[in-house]
Chain A
Amino acid sequence: MNSKKLWTVIGLIVVILAAAQAVYARFTADDQALDSSTCLNQTDSGGIDYTVKELPNGSLKVSVHVNWTDPETLNRYIQANRERALACLRAGGMDWIPVTVTFVRPLSWREVTVLRQATGLVVENYTFVATYENGRKAMIGGVADENSLVDIDKLAEIAKQQGVMVKGVMVLKGKVKNTSTGLGTLIDDERVYLADVVAVEVMEDLKGNPLYRDAKYIDVFVPSPYWDMGWD
């Protein structure tokens, strides 16, 4: 009899725990959904301006416009992106965050490789900066392969052909995991000048637009202030 009562109590506890777990999971999911939208909308970026061009193959070419001709606007833009990234981290609802990273100075390929490995960055393309002997600037852009790599020997060959000296990587475009070791590490790295995650907001905006909801692929170009950053 005592044994029966004990099993009944244990059974009830299990049922109550299971129910509580279900309710907790539901609230957690709801919170994530709520946080996801908070991540996208709660930052003050002063409005995001972009244009969309539909290509014949059904993909969208999106160009973000940023008016950062004065330093104050640029600083506000950088801060807004940091806040947006932190909001995404808090929300945790998205696995991957598209990001365009501008560095404070040209980074060596080795430095970029270590950073990529530490953060799990998946890179779509790199912008290397270079100078002619007379100091004039140039950029060499490389499309990364499926392992986020470019052929560094080819880069050296192009630089030689063009008569320029490569200084390093100033910009990269890619995506990073929405985790403390991924996005969190990236935005806290002192070599990162701007970790621009505005593409998150643009993509969400487009998915909510009936005109573009069915787009097969969206490519978002996010500009970088790298050209005038004193690396020459």
Chain B
Amino acid sequence: MKTSKLLMAISLGTLVLILTQVAYADIVWWNKDYPAAPDRGEFLWNDGSQVVWGPSILQWEQSSINALKGLPWWALPTIELEGYNPADGSSCDRLYASWCYADFPNRGWDGINGCGPWYSREEQFDIHMDESSNNWWAGYSYQALGWWDKGSLINVLGEVNFTYEQYLSDDWLGKVGYYVFSDLTFFPYCSTPAYSLPSKDACP
């Protein structure tokens, strides 16, 4: 009798563990090249008077934190939230950097005008990580979010991109594709990696 109760408890425990693991697996793995880049995460997208976008969950494995902390001080690891397509320089000046948010150790942030004429407004956030900090924790959910004002272009496709950078060299991690309706609402229709924006398939 006692043995069967024990087995039942073990079975229940296993079930809970499996369910927990399933929930955990909802956070997708970034396809990264640099060991110090974040490992897992999930995008957030909100459309209101401004577009809010970014990894609302950003996690590092212990080995990645070790790699991060092993970087020399001149590596300048940076989380980039690009309000455009950095690959071909398209989707410029539809989203203008307004506010950013980060809760991981950092040395500051900057707004960057990397797209469109040099005199146009900034559309990118660079958040400069502090690799030397003792407050990097494996499995911890950090956030890096940006708020953007909307440009006036309508009925167009566009995208925003998420990149980890060190030594000023990019490790592209993902993007969200969006469509701008005539009333200036921005609708996300895909994310890469697939499901990094929950319930959105991979971008074509």
Contact = CB atoms under 8 A, between A and B. Distances in A.
Contacts of B99: 140-143, 150, 154-155, 158
Contact of B108 (A142, A143, A224): A224
B73 A65 contact: yes
Interface in B87-113: 89, 97-103, 105-113
A143 B115 contact: no
Contact of A127 (B78, B108, B117, B126): B108
18 contacts: A56-B89, A57-B113, A57-B114, A57-B115, A57-B116, A59-B113, A61-B168, A65-B76, A125-B110, A137-B103, A141-B125, A162-B101, A217-B118, A219-B113, A223-B108, A223-B128, A226-B108, A227-B133
A140 B100 contact: yes
B19 to A, nearest CB: 26
B113 A143 contact: no
Interface of A: 49, 51-53, 55-59, 61, 63, 65, 67, 69, 100, 124-125, 127, 132, 136-143, 150, 154-155, 158, 162, 171, 173, 216-217, 219, 221-228
Among B74, B99, B102, B115, residue most surrounded by chain A Cβ atoms (within 10 Å): B99
B76 A227 contact: no
B100 A141 contact: yes
A51 B73 contact: no
Contacts of B147: 154, 158
Interface string B115-153: 111110010011010101100000000010001000000
B106 A173 contact: no
Nearest to B98: A143
Interface residues of B, number: 38
Interface of B: 73-74, 76, 78, 89, 97-103, 105-119, 122, 125-126, 128, 130, 132-133, 143, 147, 167-168
A57 B107 contact: no
Which of the listed residues A59, A124, A143, A226 has the most CB atoms from chain B within 10 Å of its own CB? A143
Nearest to B109: A141
Contacts of B97: 143
Question: 5 shortest A-B CB distances, which residue pairs?
Answer: A223-B107, A138-B103, A216-B118, A217-B118, A141-B100
A54 to B, nearest CB: 10
Contact of A158 (B101, B112, B119): B101
B110 A219 contact: yes
Contact of A219 (B74, B112, B119): B112
Contacts of B115: 56-57
Contacts of A69: 73, 132
B113 A217 contact: yes
B108 A61 contact: no
Nearest to A162: B101
Contact of A227 (B105, B112, B122): B105
Contact of A53 (B74, B125, B132, B168): B168
A142 B106 contact: no
Given A57-B116, A221-B128, A139 B76 contact: no
A226 B97 CA distance: 22
A27 B167 CA distance: 45
A171 B108 contact: yes
